[in-house]
Structure 1
Amino acid sequence: MKILLPLLLLASTFSLVAHSLVAQELTDPRKQEIVFRNVNVIPMDKEQVLTNQVVIVKDGRITLIGDARMVKYGAGALVIDGTGKYLMPGLAEMHAHVPPIDDIEPMKEVVMLFALKGVTTIRGMLGHPRHLELRSKLLSGEIIGPRLYTSGPSINGQTANTEATAIKMVRDQKAAGYDFLKLHPGLTVPNFNAIVQTAKEVNIPFAGHVSFQVGVWRAIDAGYASIDHMDGFVESLVPGIENMTEQQTGLFATFIGHQADTSRIPALVKGLRDHHIWVVPTQALAERWISPDNTPEALSQEPEMKYMSPNTLTNWVNTKKNLQGNPQYKPSEVRQFVELRRKLIYACQKNGVGLLLGSDAPQIFDVPGFSLHHELQYLVNAGLTPYEALRTGTVNPAIFLKREDAGLIRIGAVADLVLLNSNPLTNIGATQDIEGVCLAGRWLNKTYIQQGLKKLEKK
């Protein structure tokens, strides 16, 4: 897979309309006591709903959970009527992008769009020096948005074209304070090995793509923190892959997926599980960009596309058309490829491989915030239950990020919460019907969300 096209597309994507959203008019919104009254709680510790509860938040933490008939709270609290509503942990977008540019204003718009759709944590997968500043300002509350974990700038076959350059990039990014390294395609085996050895020496995780020359088995042995897009998975299932070129295989092996030997799936899944490799499927790319079962014109008319610039939409339409116009693109074979990815997701879930929710937004027809809800549906379509799908965006990211105070609704947990109007355990689509979002104790009510989304619409 080539790196230049996706990077160029991402660069053109970050042109959301330039509006600044101001904080709610509260003296110190994260310190105000918030009371969710008579609410149904989905704690996510197991598949259950606790009915008629009171949940109290103060100083950005959950301080009390109890029966609504018994719990008392202060007269000055902000009381939110949760009757008929469902409170769950906020979602994590574990393969997100924010603009890799010097101007922080477009970054603020993108992270706000995530937040307004119930995304309270993002893992930025294409780092930039100003993302370190953004991370700090999000944590302090100066900028409203999800908490951010950020990679350093892309490490790929062009930026790390020698072992010495690769080693320097790893050491520099560790010293700068990035959370992890992002690996992109094009790495040779020697350069990859230098990256892995140095990353382990300086103790910084690495994640992302699997370069074609490296292959998924070498990536598994190296100890990726996460393999994203299931990159390299399909190639490992295709007999004779060693005799093929990257150009022949297509994006994530789109053109050869129909040749896969599915009897190899158990061994692949066992390797991932035994080496504790997390997987971020980003199935939205396959279902929206790659699949022949939706047209670029129809996707470009979806309501959420109003948050993207006309130039971005034009690029997305043309990119999907170009893929479908490739002589190697045969709809019946591509459908087999998409179905194979669903089988891989299901096999990972059922065999103990950790799945993380991620959609690669903004990317081809994946709008920040909105696309994560599509991803949840695609996971359910692959065979996961709604509860299992929700875990990939709540409990699992907290485990991955080593956050014992996140991903669950319990006393002491950070108050990253989403209030929904119906039960997502019975219908995963309920995650899209948001009544309000709590960002570490800062409450964004429905009016605020609607006004914020209106400001972010393209002109």
Structure 2
Amino acid sequence: MLGFIRGAHAQRNDTILIENVNVIPMNKEIVLNNQNIIIVSGKIISIEPYKREINYTSHLVIDGTGKYVMPGFSEMHYHWRNKQGGIDRDFKLLIANGVTTVRNMAEYDWQDHVAIRDSISKGEKFGPNYYTAGPYLNSNDLKTIVDAIAVVKSHKVKGYDFLKLADNLPKDVYLIILEESQKHHVSVIGHAQREMPLEFSLRLKSIEHVEEFVYIFKDEQRNDALFLKQAIEQIKVSGSTIVPTLVVFDMIVKSIDNQKFKTLNQNKSAQYMLLNDFNYWSSDENPYRKNLKGKVINGQDALPLLEGYFKWMKTFIKMLADAGVPLMTGSDTFGFVVPGFSLHEEFQFLQDCGLSSFQILKATTVTPARYLNTIATEGTVSEGKNANLVLLNKNPLNDIENTKAIEGVFLKGRWLDRIKLDSLLMETKTLNK
């Protein structure tokens, strides 16, 4: 096999060799030490033990000695929030942080995410594997069955990957949305239907934000171990995927805590925010600080109430993970939740919940690939898979913090070394000059 590869591809200028690298394949919790990976035309065609005496003729040879390669990360709850710099600005931040797959969660009036997705697919725009929901839908958009049928049809015609619900709907409207979407092969995702029994929300392909379970369950239910055990079994059986988005809830809590609020703009990632955004979110105009600080909700001050919710959410996530409920990583990307960097913060919060590094890495690689129906070509490092990879200087299975130790990124077979990644980050800063 080695000889075949050397002979068949010696003259190709699109052949890349990653030499003597440690592979985290993500098909099981294992490290394959000292491997050679051959990539041709953006696909992995061989992974074999490193042999010093074998010399490959390749367009590019990357020394992987002491490094770790794994599938690229998935940001499964992304929002493009700012016109300034265009979406390319966000893509630079995401790619520089090892993100090779993105699911956009709403299209605003001034955006066309289908066009963005298609331009990436055609090679006209350089960006991650891209999937998109349609417009952000609430109850004002879906008052009647007629509205529901029209909205589903418009999603099918436009070609969105997902239809996202962000509000409680009348039961008849909700049910027709699900039925019509099934007919047209449009997946329905979004926030839970808080005013209906849990089973109705579990008809969604994925539930966004573990926070939703705070509102689905009554106060006494959240502290009832038997109830939670039964609810988690129901979630598991349903097959619905949960996207926790803890990092954004943490930002909300810190925004209304006077001491912690002062630390938000000191986060290293804050330097990559647009200047106007930075000033707005650092001020008392921050909408969470403005609308929640000192407010009483359900007879309790907002700060300890939300702190209690956050503590419960982290415990609940550990219970979901232990039960084998599929989880995916996403961060919601607004305010101080800076695209790319925020995903690594989400990893850290999931570790704080008690998840193992492998569970977290699975939630950002294998589970998204299965969810997006791309497991044939994504999600693991193995023969026949696309070369959407991250090369790390440290083993992330030892500590999830090591996902930040990025030496380089492969995106669609293109190699971006540390120098190139740093230049992408620097380019995002120039908008503030």
* TM above 0.5: yes
C-alpha change, 1:189 and 1:235, in structure 2 (3 Å) is same
Q: Secondary structure at the match of 2:415?
A: strand
1:378 corresponds to 2:349? yes
Query: Over residues 332-376 of structure 1, what are the superposed CA-to-partner deviations in whole Å (9 max), with x where a residue is unaligned?
Result: 443321111011111111112100111111x23210000000111
TM-score (norm 1): 0.84
In the comparison of the two structures, how many residue pairs are matched? Answer: 408
Query: Over residues 152-185 of structure 1, what are the superposed CA-to-partner deviations in whole Å (9 max), with x where a residue is unaligned?
Result: 1122112222221121011111121111101111
Shift of 1:289: 2.1
Shift of 1:414: 0.7
- The 5 Å alignment of 1:335-374 reads 335-361=307-333, 363-374=334-345
Shift of 1:320: 3.7
Task: Return the letter of the residue paired with 2:294.
Answer: G
Match of 1:321 among 277, 289, 297: 289
1:60 corresponds to 2:29? no
- Structure 1 Cα separation of the partners of residues 117 and 55 of structure 2: 33
- Structure 2 Cα separation of the partners of residues 201 and 277 of structure 1: 19
Query: Over residues 373-408 of structure 1, what are the superposed CA-to-partner deviations in whole Å (9 max), with x where a residue is unaligned?
Result: 011111111111011111000011111111122110
- The 5 Å alignment of 1:185-224 reads 185-214=167-196, 216-220=198-202, 223-224=203-204
C-alpha change, 1:215 and 1:312, in structure 2 (3 Å) is farther
Shift of 1:299: 0.9
Report the equivalent of 1:421. 393
1:183 corresponds to 2:150? no
- The 5 Å alignment of 1:79-90 reads 79-90=61-72
Report the equivalent of 2:131. 149
Is the contact between residue 158 and residue 186 of structure 1 (CA under 8 Å) also seen in structure 2? no
C-alpha change, 1:239 and 1:372, in structure 2 (3 Å) is closer
Is the contact between residue 331 and residue 342 of structure 2 (CA under 8 Å) also seen in structure 1? yes
- The 5 Å alignment of 1:25-104 reads 32-69=14-51, 72=54, 74-99=56-81
Task: Write out the 4+ residue segments of structure 1 that deviate beyond 6 Å after TM superposition.
Answer: none
Is the contact between residue 87 and residue 418 of structure 1 (CA under 8 Å) also seen in structure 2? yes
- The 5 Å alignment of 1:283-294 reads 283-291=246-254
- Structure 2 Cα separation of the partners of residues 83 and 425 of structure 1: 17
Is the contact between residue 68 and residue 394 of structure 2 (CA under 8 Å) also seen in structure 1? yes
C-alpha change, 1:240 and 1:351, in structure 2 (3 Å) is closer
* Structure 1 unaligned spans of 5+: 1-29, 242-258
C-alpha change, 1:215 and 1:313, in structure 2 (3 Å) is farther
Match of 1:334 among 283, 303, 306: 306
Query: After the TM superposition, which of the residue ranges 41-50 and 329-338 deviates more from structure 2?
Result: 329-338
Report the equivalent of 1:252. none
Is the contact between residue 238 and residue 260 of structure 1 (CA under 8 Å) also seen in structure 2? no
- Structure 1 Cα separation of the partners of residues 58 and 22 of structure 2: 23
Match of 2:267 among 297, 302, 306: 302
* Structure 2 unaligned spans of 5+: 1-11
1:106 corresponds to 2:71? no
Q: Secondary structure at the match of 1:392?
A: helix
Could you say what the CA RMSD is over the residues aligned between the two structures, in angstroms?
2.2
Is the contact between residue 183 and residue 209 of structure 1 (CA under 8 Å) also seen in structure 2? yes
- Structure 1 Cα separation of the partners of residues 175 and 43 of structure 2: 42
